[in-house]
Copies of this chain bind each other. A is one copy, B any other.
Amino acid sequence: MTPRVEDAAAQRGRGRRPGGPDTRAAIVDAARSSFAAKGYDKASLRGIARDAGVDPALVHHYFDGKAALFAETMAVPVNPSELIERVLDGDRERLGWRLAETFLTVWEPPERREALVALVRSSMTSEDAARMVREFLGREVFGRIAASTGAADPQLSGSLAASQMIGLVIARYVVRVPGVATASRDELIERLGPVLQGYLVDDPRRPE
């Protein structure tokens, strides 16, 4: 019988967990606990491997870096780096619309929406969750996009784009403000596209 994650500490004394179908799940469980306890930046892949009772090489075998592992704990099925590449790759004049579409594609399905809503909701009252929103959504997702578009103030541009999407999540799924709560995906892409484009590409102070 495969030991449960909670037995990882006990198991460490008896040797490390080998690779296998349960190993991947054990790593994700350990990562979820570690991110929640330490925040995105301070959680290390090495520490997560130790908590899961596996060799660090196995973490790298299953996951393409910390952002990918965090996304997996958030039930996001794709490596955020790939999504960001997809948004950046293509017609620059349509970047805002591609970002809106990608965001909604990733987070509209109910089971993933729940994880995002839980994170945003927790960030109101827990400094750990707030740090995760700052470091993952703010920096790893929107910050990286803003840094790639040549906006004059990437940090402000990226954080404003993040603020719109945080507000969207709250207004649409949590507070359910009439209008945005029931709008179709296509309506939202049409309205959010130019806003994200304005923040991330057409910065008014961007040197021409």
Interface residues of A, Cβ cutoff 8 Å to B: 120-121, 123-125, 130, 133-134, 137-139, 153, 155-160, 162-168, 170-172, 174-181, 183, 187, 190-192, 194-195, 198-199, 204
Residues A194 and B198 in contact, CB atoms below 8 Å apart: yes
In the assembled complex, which residues on chain B have CB atoms less than 8 Å from the CB atom of A195?
Answer: 164, 195, 198-199
Residue from B125, B168, B187, B198 within 8 A of A156 (CB atoms):
B187
Residues A170 and B170 in contact, CB atoms below 8 Å apart: yes
Residues B179 and A155 in contact, CB atoms below 8 Å apart: yes
* Stoichiometry, copies per complex: 2
Residues B180 and A171 in contact, CB atoms below 8 Å apart: no
In the assembled complex, which residues on chain B have CB atoms less than 8 Å from the CB atom of A164?
Answer: 163-164, 167, 195
Residue from B166, B178, B198 within 8 A of A167 (CB atoms):
B166
Nearest-Cβ distance from residue A133 to partner chain B, whole angstroms: 5
Tell which of A138, A160, A162, A164 has the most Cβ of chain B within 10 Å: A160
A170 to B155, CA, bound (A): 16
Residues A204 and B199 in contact, CB atoms below 8 Å apart: no
Given contacts A164-B164, A166-B167, A170-B163, contact A178 B124 (CB under 8 A): no
Residues A174 and B204 in contact, CB atoms below 8 Å apart: no
Residue from B162, B178, B179, B181 within 8 A of A171 (CB atoms):
B162
Residue from B160, B162, B174 within 8 A of A191 (CB atoms):
B160
Q: A120-B170, A130-B176, A194-B198 given; name 18 further pairs at CB < 8 Å.
A: A121-B124, A123-B175, A124-B170, A138-B175, A153-B179, A155-B179, A156-B187, A159-B181, A160-B192, A162-B177, A163-B167, A163-B170, A166-B171, A190-B204, A194-B204, A195-B195, A195-B199, A198-B198
In the assembled complex, which residues on chain B have CB atoms less than 8 Å from the CB atom of A134?
Answer: 175-178
In the assembled complex, which residues on chain B have CB atoms less than 8 Å from the CB atom of A156?
Answer: 179-180, 183, 187, 191
Residues B124 and A174 in contact, CB atoms below 8 Å apart: yes
Q: Return 18 A-B CB contacts under 8 Å, by A number.
A: A120-B124, A123-B170, A123-B174, A123-B175, A124-B124, A134-B176, A134-B178, A137-B177, A138-B178, A155-B179, A156-B187, A158-B179, A159-B171, A160-B180, A163-B167, A163-B168, A164-B167, A167-B167
